[in-house]
Structure 1
Amino acid sequence: MKSRGVRRLLLRTLFLAATIFVGTASAASAAPGTQPQGSQDLLAKVVVIGVPGLRWSDVEASPELTALVDQSHVGSITVKTAGPHTCPIDGWLTINAGTRAWGSVPDQGCGELPGVVDGKIQGWQTYVDRQAEHHTGAPLGRLAESRDRICGFGPGAAVALARTDGTVANWTESLDPALLASNACGDAIIDAGPMPLREGREEASKKVADLVAQARAADGWVLLVGVAEETANAHQELLVAMQLPPDNGPRWLTSDSTRRPGLIQLTDVTATILRGEAKEIDPAGAEQPGPLDGNEIHFTGPVHTDAAAVIENRLVTNERFEHPHPVLGWLAITLLVMQLAALGWFLITRSRRARNTSVFTLLTQGGFFITVFLTTVTQWWRWPSPGLSLYFVSLAISAGFAGLAWAVLKEYAYLGILGAAYVILLVDGVLGTPLQFGSMFTDGPVIGGRFYGFGNSTFAVLAVAALVMAGWAAQKVLDRSRAQAALVVLAIGGLAIIVDGKPGWGTDFGGIIALTPAVLLMAWLTWRGGITWKALLGIGAAGVLAVSAVAFLDYLRPADQRSHFGTFVARLLDGDVNDVLIRKLQMSLDFFDSVAGWAMLIGVLLAMAATVWPDKVPSESYRRFYASKPMVRPTLLALSTCGLIGMVLNDAGVVLPAIMAGFALPLLVAHLLSVGPDQQPATVSSESHLVQES
Structure 2
Amino acid sequence: MNHPLRPKTCRARPSLLRTLGLLLAAFVAVGAAAGTANTAPASGAAHAAPAGTANALPQVDQSLLAKVVVIGVPGLRWSDVKASPELTALVNQSNVGSITVKTAGPHTCPVDGWLTISAGTRAWGSVPDQPCGELPGLVDGKVQGWQTYVNRQAEHHTGAPLGRLAETNSKICGFGQGAAVALAHTDGTVANWQPTFDSSKLAACPDAIVDGGVMPLSEGRDEARKKVAELVAQARAADGWVLLVGIAQETADAHQEPLVAMQLPPDNGPRWLTSDSTRRPGLIQLTDVTATILRGQAKEIDPAGSEEPGPLDGNEITSTGDVHTDAAAVIEDRLDTNQRFEQPRPMLVAVVTTLVVAQLAALGWFLITRSRRARSTSVFTMLAQGGFFIAVFLSTATSWWRWPSPGFSLYCVVLAISAGFAGLAQRLLKKHAYLGILAAAYVILLVDGVLGTPLQFGSMFTDGPVIGGRFYGFGNSTFATLAVAALVMAGFAAQKVLDRSRVEAAAAVLVVGGLAIVVDGKPGWGTDFGGIIALTPAVLLLAWFTWRGNISWKALVGIGLAGFVAVSAVAYLDYLRPEDERSHFGTFVARLLDGDVNDVLIRKLQMSLGFFHTPAGWAMLVAVVLSMLATVRPDKVPSESYRRFYVGKPMVRPTLLALATCGLVGMLLNDAGVALPAIMAGFAVPLLVAHLLAAGADDRPATVLPESHLVQES
Question: Shared fold by TM > 0.5?
Answer: yes
Counterpart of 2:665 in structure 1 is 645
Distance 1:673 1:683 in 2: 20
C-alpha distance after superposition, 1:227-251 (max 9, x if no partner): 0001001122010000010011000
Do the aligned residues in 2 keep the contact of 1:257 with 1:295 (CA within 8 Å)?
yes
SS in 2 for 1:514: helix
Report deviation, 1:288: 3.7
C-alpha distance after superposition, 1:179-198 (max 9, x if no partner): 1101xx11100000000011
Equivalent residue letter for 1:327 = M
Counterpart of 1:62 in structure 2 is 84
1:540-689 aligned at under 5 Å gives the runs 540-678=560-698, 683=703, 688-689=708-709
1:292-691 aligned at under 5 Å gives the runs 292-678=312-698, 683=703, 688-691=708-711
C-alpha distance after superposition, 1:141-175 (max 9, x if no partner): 10000013100000000000011000000011011
Counterpart of 2:139 in structure 1 is 117
RMSD, aligned CA: 1.7
Do the aligned residues in 1 keep the contact of 2:302 with 2:309 (CA within 8 Å)?
no
Report deviation, 1:124: 0.4
Unaligned 5+ runs, structure 2: 9-63
SS in 2 for 1:651: coil
Distance 1:448 1:541 in 2: 33
Report deviation, 1:681: 9.2
Report deviation, 1:616: 1.0
1:166-181 aligned at under 5 Å gives the runs 166-181=188-203
Change beyond 3 A, Cα 1:405–1:33: closer
Distance 2:270 2:332 in 1: 16
Report deviation, 1:286: 2.5
Matched, 1:127 2:156: no
Change beyond 3 A, Cα 1:507–1:47: same
SS in 2 for 1:445: coil
Change beyond 3 A, Cα 1:75–1:322: same
1:158 to 174, 180, 188: 180
Matched, 1:259 2:279: yes
Change beyond 3 A, Cα 1:145–1:691: same
Distance 1:132 1:684 in 2: 53
Distance 2:352 2:223 in 1: 44
Report deviation, 1:393: 1.1
Do the aligned residues in 2 keep the contact of 1:509 with 1:565 (CA within 8 Å)?
yes
1:24-39 aligned at under 5 Å gives the runs none
Report deviation, 1:476: 0.5
Distance 2:703 2:357 in 1: 34
Distance 1:574 1:137 in 2: 13
SS in 2 for 1:446: coil
C-alpha distance after superposition, 1:9-57 (max 9, x if no partner): xxxxxxxxxxxxxxxxxxxxxx9999xxxxxxx9961110000000000
Change beyond 3 A, Cα 1:44–1:207: closer
Equivalent residue letter for 1:363 = L
Matched, 1:139 2:161: yes
Report deviation, 1:283: 8.8
Report deviation, 1:450: 1.3
Matched, 1:241 2:281: no
Greater Cα shift, 513-522 or 285-294: 285-294
Greater Cα shift, 271-280 or 669-678: 271-280
C-alpha distance after superposition, 1:483-521 (max 9, x if no partner): 110000000000000000000000000000000000000
Distance 1:532 1:92 in 2: 56
Greater Cα shift, 341-350 or 224-233: 341-350
Matched, 1:98 2:120: yes
Counterpart of 1:197 in structure 2 is 217
Counterpart of 1:692 in structure 2 is 712
Do the aligned residues in 2 keep the contact of 1:521 with 1:539 (CA within 8 Å)?
yes
Distance 2:407 2:591 in 1: 40
Do the aligned residues in 2 keep the contact of 1:32 with 1:432 (CA within 8 Å)?
no
Do the aligned residues in 2 keep the contact of 1:278 with 1:289 (CA within 8 Å)?
no
Distance 2:514 2:287 in 1: 35
How many residue pairs get aligned? The number is 655
Equivalent residue letter for 2:213 = G
Identity %: 82
Equivalent residue letter for 2:658 = A
Matched, 1:80 2:102: yes
Q: Choose between structure 1 and 2 for higher RCO, CA contacts under 8 A separated by at least 6 residues.
A: 2
Report deviation, 1:684: 6.6
Equivalent residue letter for 2:189 = T
C-alpha distance after superposition, 1:222-281 (max 9, x if no partner): 000000001001122010000010011000000000000000000000000011324656
C-alpha distance after superposition, 1:411-432 (max 9, x if no partner): 0000000000000000000000
Change beyond 3 A, Cα 1:693–1:670: same
SS in 2 for 1:299: strand
Matched, 1:217 2:242: no
Change beyond 3 A, Cα 1:284–1:614: farther
Do the aligned residues in 2 keep the contact of 1:271 with 1:278 (CA within 8 Å)?
no
Do the aligned residues in 2 keep the contact of 1:146 with 1:279 (CA within 8 Å)?
no
TM-score normalised per structure 1: 0.92
Report deviation, 1:559: 1.2
Change beyond 3 A, Cα 1:658–1:262: same
Do the aligned residues in 2 keep the contact of 1:280 with 1:287 (CA within 8 Å)?
no
Unaligned 5+ runs, structure 1: 1-30, 35-41
Report deviation, 1:688: 3.9
Distance 2:695 2:325 in 1: 61
Report deviation, 1:618: 1.0
Change beyond 3 A, Cα 1:399–1:279: closer
SS in 2 for 1:47: strand
Do the aligned residues in 2 keep the contact of 1:279 with 1:288 (CA within 8 Å)?
no
Distance 1:100 1:203 in 2: 31
Change beyond 3 A, Cα 1:533–1:33: closer
Report deviation, 1:285: 3.8
Do the aligned residues in 2 keep the contact of 1:52 with 1:228 (CA within 8 Å)?
yes
Distance 1:347 1:692 in 2: 41
Change beyond 3 A, Cα 1:98–1:679: farther
SS in 1 for 2:71: strand
Do the aligned residues in 1 keep the contact of 2:641 with 2:698 (CA within 8 Å)?
no
